[in-house]
Structure 1
Amino acid sequence: MNKFNRYLIDFRLKGLNVEFGSNIVFKSLPQLILVEGSKIIINDNTVINSQNSGYHLNMFKPCKLIADRPNSEIIIGKNCRIHGTCIHSQKKIIIGDNCLIAANCQIMDSNGHDLSFEKIENRIKTTGGVKEVVIEDNVWLGTGVVVLPGVTIGYGSVISANSVVHKSIPPMVVAGGNPIKIIKDYSKKKL
């Protein structure tokens, strides 16, 4: 990212609670949306890629990081690569170190609305429950993965393209599908 874009991002975020580590690379401008009292932290050597040019997949939109409730947090670890992804926090989303997140992933800690079957016409007025999401170190999310509220994806795991992660995934596995299931377990194998 050129100096102009970095200054533009810094200017737009003036007065907001955003922390950048060293050597952060923004390839094209992401959308960073915060409400007062929320926080976004991006740690050292992380790449936030919103630019189709030079990336092997087509990105539908730029990266979008949304912390839209007071006290909500998005924390992104060191050495991550995040491409054309939406991360939407109403409470807390933690992404560990060395994570690879391919284009068009959706990571969210809330559903947006309650089921409201007892009074369905009120569904539109609800905001839904919130459950923290944790993506541990060295995780790889393939293109188009959807990570739903309350999920932990364990250390080193790989989630195959277009999977819906609706339950927690243990460390060192390959998982995929909708609904997601373990495809291969590397936790006890010598690599």
Structure 2
Amino acid sequence: MIQTLLNYFFRYFLFIRNKNVILNGKLKIKNKPLVHILDGTKLIIGDNVTLNSKNAKYHVNMFAPVKIYLDKVGAKITIGNNSRIHGSCLHAYKSINIGDNCLIAANCQIFDGNGHETSLDDPTKRLKITGISKPILIGNNCWIGTSVIILPGTKIGNNCIVAAGSVVKGEFKDNSLIAGNPAKFIKFVK
């Protein structure tokens, strides 16, 4: 009962009353997510979305709660209908679009921009210069396995599966099984 009340509280104060958030239906929150939504950004959440930060009764250990960061003006994160995100980080400088019916397992890192440039000519600049941003697109019906890292500019088609622990960069067609570090197309799945 207390946990249910807390989840309603989180939903109201973190999402419903925030003018930069559009809720298009039911949002289920399990334990408090970490949320940073800068003015001039947009978070769009579809119907029947779950943000799970509760380690109990989840089959993989979560190292941290769901983290949603929009910290550059114009940044946008869209989470499609019926999608579930478990203890993972979404960090947008520009755009992250997650389709409908997606499952994102625990400990994934999805970020569309590098925190710093390499600045090999003068490494001291790394602390002052942010890296480039490229939108991320995850299609409908995708399953992103635990501890996957999705890098800037990645496009994952519909009905794809990304194996646990993969580091993903590039474009992948619909129905792909993707695995490895760096991640590669393995085969088409049905």
CA contact (8 A) 1:16 1:34 kept: no
CA contact (8 A) 1:109 1:150 kept: yes
Alignment partner, residue 50 of structure 1: 53
Provide the C-alpha distance between the structure 1 equivalents of 2:136 and 2:158, rounded to a whole number of angstroms.
Answer: 14
TM-score (norm 1): 0.93
Alignment partner, residue 96 of structure 1: 99
Structure 1 runs not aligned, ≥5 long: none
Map 1:7-156 → 2, pairs under 5 A = 7-13=9-15, 14-156=17-159
Compare 114-123 and 83-92 and name the one that shifted more: 114-123
Alignment partner, residue 164 of structure 2: 161
Could you say what secondary structure the match of 1:182 adopts? strand
Aligned-residue CA RMSD (Å): 1.4
Structure 2 runs not aligned, ≥5 long: none
Aligned AA (2:7): N
Aligned AA (1:7): F
Alignment partner, residue 6 of structure 1: 8
Q: Kindly, what percent of the aligned residue pairs are identical? A: 42
Provide the C-alpha distance between the structure 2 equivalents of 1:101 and 1:8, rounded to a whole number of angstroms.
Answer: 21
Provide the C-alpha distance between the structure 1 equivalents of 2:131 and 2:178, rounded to a whole number of angstroms.
Answer: 27
CA contact (8 A) 1:156 1:171 kept: yes
Give the C-alpha shift of residue 170 in structure 1: 1.4
Aligned length: 187
Provide the C-alpha distance between the structure 1 equivalents of 2:64 and 2:104, rounded to a whole number of angstroms.
Answer: 14
Provide the C-alpha distance between the structure 1 equivalents of 2:84 and 2:13, rounded to a whole number of angstroms.
Answer: 24
Could you say what secondary structure the match of 2:7 adopts? helix
Aligned AA (1:24): L
Could you say what secondary structure the match of 1:94 adopts? strand
Provide the C-alpha distance between the structure 1 equivalents of 2:126 and 2:80, rounded to a whole number of angstroms.
Answer: 35
Alignment partner, residue 181 of structure 2: 178
- Over residues 80-132 of structure 1, what are the superposed CA-to-partner deviations in whole Å (9 max), with x where a residue is unaligned? 01100000001110000000100000000001111111222211111110000
